Amino acid sequence: MTYTRRATDGSSVSPSLTADQDASPATRIASWTQRLTAMRIVAVLGVITIILSPFAQVKIPLVLAFLPAYQSIVIVAYLITSYLIHMQFQATRIVSLLHLSAASLYTAGVLIAQFLSFPNAFIANTQLLGGAQTTIWLWAYWHVGPAVGILFYAWAEYRHPNRLSDNPDRSTMLTALVLCAVFAFTIASVTIFKKWLPVMDINGDYSRADVIGVAPAIQIALAISLLVLWRASRLRTVLHVWLGVAVFALFCDNALTMMAGSRLTLGWYVGRANALLSATLIMCVYLREIRRAYMHTAMMAGKLIVSNAELAIRVDEARIDALTKLPMRDMLLEQADNMRMASVEAGAGFATLFIDLDGFKNINDRFGHEHGDIVLIRAADAVSSLLREQDIAGRIGGDEFVVCLTAPGDNLQKIATKLSERIVEKIAKIGEGIGASVGISVSNTSIDEAIRQADEAMYDSKKAGRNRSTIYRPKPQLVQHA
């Protein structure tokens, strides 16, 4: 599916918003069903957050598998999202998509680093990365990542909607360099400079994140990104709608997490669920997009197969004589050549019969062409009724027919002669003075040469008195003496 439009002079043109189902999620206007679904999710998240607020600090027993499973799923979700959005950028060249892709990749990297910073996560009594405040600060960084990435995306869309990159590879390289620098600073701040990190976590109590203003700053960043996203398109496109839901889910996650104040609480667990929803939403949007593209491609492929089949039928119908329903010359030659090559491979013989109706001109002259057509149909039926399943016949001229057959070499001439005699006999039964002269070629030569030989033998039948068959014999060449 191609999304980038081009002007008539070859330059890139930014795609406009459209309801076309083949358009990118970044430019396709969301349906009412999608908007309604998104509003319901937001309403449910809001209601749950409000209802659980008084109980956010209720302690919940430790579930050993929860944190590793949660962290792994969120990491994979952000990595897949980054990849899918970058593929969308390569297809559309919309610059703002790079901000989303980079933010998702940055968040996945921070989550991996946070995983490594969990005490006892991989090795007993060991923290693989950073110090006492590393984990909580990486939590803050990974919440900032999506907020800032969506803010940059929304601002780019607000200032230059669907702006296209003139050099996608260069844009990707510059974004990667900036991303590496920001990620390096992030890791350095929680490892090399870990001693200078402000204290936010005291034995699992992270309520100081509120006191020193980190949590409120994250909420403000999320609110600003949602506001700018709204200003960019009023959340009209599919991507914008679900980005809005993802931001709101992170907002609810941060709110419940801060109200909980410590780990292993109701607010902390529900906050993780909200973060998981936020991480997987955009991934699901693009996975559904891939499914749509696959279904669309499969549907178009099916239509193409049907169209090709119908075209093949129409082409074959165009090569079949409308009157006698027998193949015309081109189709007959094609079928006969295939039969001849197959007979050569099988070691069998190949015979060609050339049939010309005797007395047909008199029928047309006496009774008219309509009656002549009836005679042609009856003659074609007579020939067809005598053929074996593997034999083929065709009409190559006004009252001229050709039959091709194969048989073992020692029986070929006998079978061809017998068939010719039966054709002559059955056509004669049509009456009205109609007969048939048949020429037979039993030489395994090219189909054109075989028809020429059979045609020559047919004229010998006419010279011999008509209503008979003759096998082709090469004529002796006259030698001229000086």
pLDDT at residue 17, as a whole number = 57
- Residue 365's pLDDT band, with cuts at 50, 70 and 90, is confident
Mean pLDDT of the 143-162 span: 91
Both structure tokens of 423: 């054709």
Mean pLDDT of the 200-223 span: 91
* Alpha-carbon span 453 to 270, nearest angstrom: 91
Q: Is the pLDDT of residue 6 over 80?
A: no
pLDDT at residue 249, as a whole number = 96
Rama region for 93: left / alpha / beta (φ>0; ψ in -120 to 50; rest): left
Portion of the chain with pLDDT greater than 70, in percent: 92
pLDDT one-digit tens code per residue, 230-241: 998 888 889 999
pLDDT at residue 426, as a whole number = 93
pTM for this entry: 0.65
Which domains can be identified in the chain, with CATH numbers? Answer: 32-302 (1.20.1070), 329-471 (3.30.70.270)
Q: Is the pLDDT of residue 140 over 60?
A: yes
pLDDT at residue 203, as a whole number = 86
- Residue 26's pLDDT band, with cuts at 50, 70 and 90, is confident
Instruction: List C-alpha distances in Å: 162 to 15, 89, 91, 279, 362.
Output: 6, 11, 13, 24, 78
* Alpha-carbon span 251 to 240, nearest angstrom: 16
pLDDT one-digit tens code per residue, 352-362: 999 999 999 88
pLDDT at residue 311, as a whole number = 65
Mean pLDDT of the 156-185 span: 93
pLDDT one-digit tens code per residue, 61-91: 988 889 889 999 999 999 999 999 999 899 8
Average the pLDDT over each of 159-163, 271-275, 304-308, 384-388 and give the range with the smallest value.
304-308
pLDDT one-digit tens code per residue, 331-348: 899 999 999 999 888 889
- Residue 3's pLDDT band, with cuts at 50, 70 and 90, is very low
- Residue 474's pLDDT band, with cuts at 50, 70 and 90, is confident
pLDDT one-digit tens code per residue, 252-302: 999 999 999 998 999 999 999 999 999 999 999 888 877 877 787 788 788
